[in-house]
């Protein structure tokens, strides 16, 4: 039971959450916000999805998905039932009782946290905030953001958290393309600015998530999200470093990891690659290290892992140059290189922070002519750091097109790629993902 918090009347909102009649507003219809909208709408909540992109809003209202891995069917079904609408009119925030913020938290030019999207969104919400509303931040960020940054901005409305409105933090845990763990099956952490806010947020997520885990504060939930991804970043850095060591020893690191994984306790397999990608793992450790410096703490272990992971694109390009020299007695200058995959992970169209683009730039700096094939990314989207690549199209993967390149570099191991075709017709294949092991060899490791 939600305890009364003041003029905000949490009991009334709690009742509407349990009845699933409370209208939900979700800001950001991307990789986090749209799956959340589908899950909440699928459970019966009426959902209003907000986005600044009018084209995306029009697409959603036509019952179509802007994200390949979600498809159109679920959106179209919610539209038919009247449970979902998209809008770019943020004045309509006044219509909703729960506001969930799912906006990007990137890094700035000097790899410092960029909370501009969160801050601007909080200002927008503040302009339409009403008593009794619940506001939840889902964007990944450093401990303290919810109460030190978002709360004061919301209170410029003249309303007070804990008294007039309720504020909580629940970190997103989306894994695009993972069919085993969808939004409803991934446990939810919830920390509130006071018990009423926490309990209301738990009531909201409990309407469609199998397991909700309340924690003592927003700071704990914020720190837990960073810890999850720092853990992954550090372990990926470890296996990336081992890959470089074992390569020099003539040992297959993928076979080593598979062998170690037979131990039923005390070991968890992580896999090397060409560098980190996605919105979380390449970015979250820097949010923690930046925040730690404010407390006079140096996160040496985390920063070392970041250095190793950031050097992997250069290592991959170096391996490619070695093999070109060994095989064809030539360098990268003037070489034609095909990147196989530009998404940051297999079987999705998500290119955020993909190491493919860092590798692409390094190759061009050394004079190579670069093209790409990706069955999930027919055209390079707009990317802030690589704006000149936007609009370039994926080339067809045929025997003839493969033969036109000096080398193929496997960046993303999509299942839809015909690797036997690649093996049979490419002159040289450098494999950063160990995909050639499924074919019994034929690719060179990187």
Question: Where does residue 441 fall: left (phi above 0), alpha (psi -120 to 50 degrees), or beta otherwise?
Answer: left
* Tens of pLDDT, residues 414-426: 999 999 999 999 9
Asked whether residue 25 falls in the same domain as residue 131, the answer is yes
Of 196, 101, 91, whose CA–CA distance to 149 is shortest? 101
Domain count, the chain: 2
Question: Quick check: 163 pLDDT over 60?
Answer: yes
Between CA 283 and CA 107 the distance in angstroms is 7
Q: Are 389 and 364 in contact (CB under 8 A)?
A: no
Residue 385 banded pLDDT, cuts 50, 70, 90: confident
Residue with tokens 């609009």: 391
Residue 164 banded pLDDT, cuts 50, 70, 90: very high
Asked whether residue 429 falls in the same domain as residue 298, the answer is yes
Q: Given CA atoms 239, 241, 245, 248 in this order, what sign does their dihedral have?
A: positive
Q: Are 236 and 270 in contact (CB under 8 A)?
A: yes
As a whole number, mean pLDDT of residues 260-275 equals 97
Beta bridge partners of 84: 47
As a whole number, mean pLDDT of residues 329-345 equals 96
- The reported pLDDT for the residue numbered 299 is 94
Q: Which residues are catalytic?
A: 280
- The reported pLDDT for the residue numbered 147 is 98
Residue 438 banded pLDDT, cuts 50, 70, 90: confident
- The reported pLDDT for the residue numbered 95 is 97
**169 phi/psi in degrees, rounded to 5:** -130, 130
Question: Quick check: 2 pLDDT over 80?
Answer: no
Asked whether residue 107 falls in the same domain as residue 243, the answer is no
Q: Among the residues of 10-91, which ranges form H helices?
A: 10-19, 33-42, 54-61, 73-81
Domain assignment present for residue 2? The answer is no
* Tens of pLDDT, residues 299-320: 999 999 999 999 999 999 999 9
Domain assignment present for residue 223? The answer is no
As a whole number, mean pLDDT of residues 183-206 equals 97
**Cα dihedral 261→256→418→397 (10° resolution):** 130
Question: Quick check: 278 pLDDT over 90?
Answer: no
Q: Given CA atoms 410, 414, 418, 419 in this order, what sign does their dihedral have?
A: positive
- DSSP string over 129-168: --TT-EEEE-S---TTHIIIIIHHHHGGGS--BTTTBEEE
Domain assignment present for residue 221? The answer is no
pTM: 0.93
Asked whether residue 212 falls in the same domain as residue 250, the answer is no
In 3-state terms, the chain is what percent helix, strand and coil (to 5)?
Answer: 45, 15, 45
Residue 295 banded pLDDT, cuts 50, 70, 90: very high
Q: Are 356 and 366 in contact (CB under 8 A)?
A: no
Question: How many other CB atoms sit within 10 Å of the CB of residue 264?
Answer: 6
Between CA 322 and CA 80 the distance in angstroms is 57
Between CA 281 and CA 223 the distance in angstroms is 14
Residue 4 banded pLDDT, cuts 50, 70, 90: very low
Domain containing 42: what range? Answer: 10-216
- The reported pLDDT for the residue numbered 182 is 92
- The reported pLDDT for the residue numbered 111 is 83
- The reported pLDDT for the residue numbered 282 is 86
Asked whether residue 284 falls in the same domain as residue 211, the answer is no
* Tens of pLDDT, residues 66-106: 998 898 999 999 999 999 999 999 999 999 999 999 999 99
**46 phi/psi in degrees, rounded to 5:** -75, 130
Last residue of a domain, one of 190, 216, 242: 216
Of 376, 362, 349, whose CA–CA distance to 312 is shortest? 362
Asked whether residue 212 falls in the same domain as residue 236, the answer is no
pLDDT averaged over every residue in the chain: 95
Asked whether residue 176 falls in the same domain as residue 291, the answer is no
- The reported pLDDT for the residue numbered 185 is 95
**Termini Cα distance of the chain:** 56
Asked whether residue 240 falls in the same domain as residue 131, the answer is no
Question: Quick check: 211 pLDDT over 60?
Answer: yes
- The reported pLDDT for the residue numbered 5 is 43
Domain assignment present for residue 5? The answer is no
Domain assignment present for residue 377? The answer is yes
- Distance from chain centroid for Cα 278: 5
Domain assignment present for residue 99? The answer is yes
Of 177, 173, 175, 179, whose CA–CA distance to 211 is shortest? 173
Helix (H) or strand (E) run with residue 169 in it? strand 166-169
* Tens of pLDDT, residues 228-259: 999 999 999 999 999 999 999 999 999 999 99
Asked whether residue 362 falls in the same domain as residue 418, the answer is yes
As a whole number, mean pLDDT of residues 213-240 equals 97
Q: Are 252 and 445 in contact (CB under 8 A)?
A: yes
- The reported pLDDT for the residue numbered 415 is 96
Last residue of a domain, one of 184, 216, 248: 216
Question: Quick check: 7 pLDDT over 80?
Answer: no
Domain assignment present for residue 226? The answer is no
Asked whether residue 112 falls in the same domain as residue 151, the answer is yes
Instruction: Give the domain CATH number at 202.
Output: 3.40.50.720
- Distance from chain centroid for Cα 425: 34
* Tens of pLDDT, residues 26-48: 999 999 999 999 999 999 999 99
Q: Are 430 and 409 in contact (CB under 8 A)?
A: yes
Q: Are 236 and 432 in contact (CB under 8 A)?
A: no
Q: Which two tokens stand for residue 177?
A: 């393309």
Above pLDDT 70, what percent of the chain?
98
As a whole number, mean pLDDT of residues 385-413 equals 95
Asked whether residue 207 falls in the same domain as residue 237, the answer is no
Of 311, 331, 343, 353, whose CA–CA distance to 407 is shortest? 331
Between CA 200 and CA 193 the distance in angstroms is 11
Residue 9 banded pLDDT, cuts 50, 70, 90: confident
Last residue of a domain, one of 216, 244, 269: 216
Asked whether residue 209 falls in the same domain as residue 266, the answer is no
Domain assignment present for residue 308? The answer is yes
């Amino acid at each position: 039971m939600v305890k009364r918090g003041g003029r905000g009347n949490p009991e009334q909102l709690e009742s509407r959450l349990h009845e699933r009649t409370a209208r939900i507003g979700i800001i950001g219809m991307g990789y986090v916000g749209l799956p959340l909208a589908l899950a909440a709408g699928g459970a019966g909540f009426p959902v209003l999805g907000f986005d600044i992109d009018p084209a995306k809003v029009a697409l959603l209202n036509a019952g179509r998905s802007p994200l390949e891995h979600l498809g159109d069917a679920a959106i179209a079904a919610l539209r038919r039932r009247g449970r979902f609408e998209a809008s770019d009119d943020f004045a309509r925030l006044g219509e909703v009782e729960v506001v969930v913020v799912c906006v990007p938290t990137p890094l700035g030019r000097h790899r410092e946290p960029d909370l501009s999207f969160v801050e601007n969104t909080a200002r927008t919400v503040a302009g339409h905030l009403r008593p009794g509303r619940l506001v939840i931040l889902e964007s990944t960020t450093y401990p303290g953001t919810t109460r030190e940054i978002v709360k004061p901005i919301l209170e410029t409305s003249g309303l007070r958290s804990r008294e007039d409105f309720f504020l909580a933090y629940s970190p997103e845990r989306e894994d695009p393309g993972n069919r085993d763990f969808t939004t409803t099956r991934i446990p939810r952490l919830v920390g509130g600015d006071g018990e009423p806010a926490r309990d209301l947020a738990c009531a909201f997520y409990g309407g469609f998530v199998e397991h909700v885990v309340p924690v003592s504060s927003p700071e704990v939930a914020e720190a837990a999200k960073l810890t999850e991804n720092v853990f992954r970043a550090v372990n990926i850095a470890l296996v990336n470093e081992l890959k470089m060591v074992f390569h020099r020893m003539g040992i297959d690191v993928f076979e080593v990891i598979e062998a170690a994984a037979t131990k039923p306790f005390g070991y968890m397999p992580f896999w090397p690659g060409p560098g980190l990608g996605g919105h979380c793992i390449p970015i979250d450790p820097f949010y923690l290290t930046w925040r730690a410096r404010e407390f006079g703490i140096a996160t040496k272990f985390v920063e070392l892992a970041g250095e190793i992971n950031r050097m992997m694109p250069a290592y991959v390009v170096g391996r490619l140059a070695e093999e070109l020299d060994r095989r064809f007695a030539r360098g990268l200058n003037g070489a034609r290189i095909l990147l196989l995959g530009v998404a940051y992970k297999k079987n999705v169209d998500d290119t955020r922070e993909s190491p493919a683009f860092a590798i692409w730039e390094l190759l061009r700096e050394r004079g190579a002519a670069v093209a790409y094939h990706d069955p999930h990314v027919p055209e390079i989207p707009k990317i802030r750091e690589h704006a000149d690549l936007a609009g370039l199209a994926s080339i067809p993967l045929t025997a003839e097109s493969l033969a036109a390149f000096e080398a193929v570099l496997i960046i993303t191991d999509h299942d839809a790629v015909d690797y036997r075709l690649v093996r049979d017709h490419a002159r040289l294949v450098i494999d950063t993902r160990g995909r050639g092991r499924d074919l019994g060899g034929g690719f060179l490791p990187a």
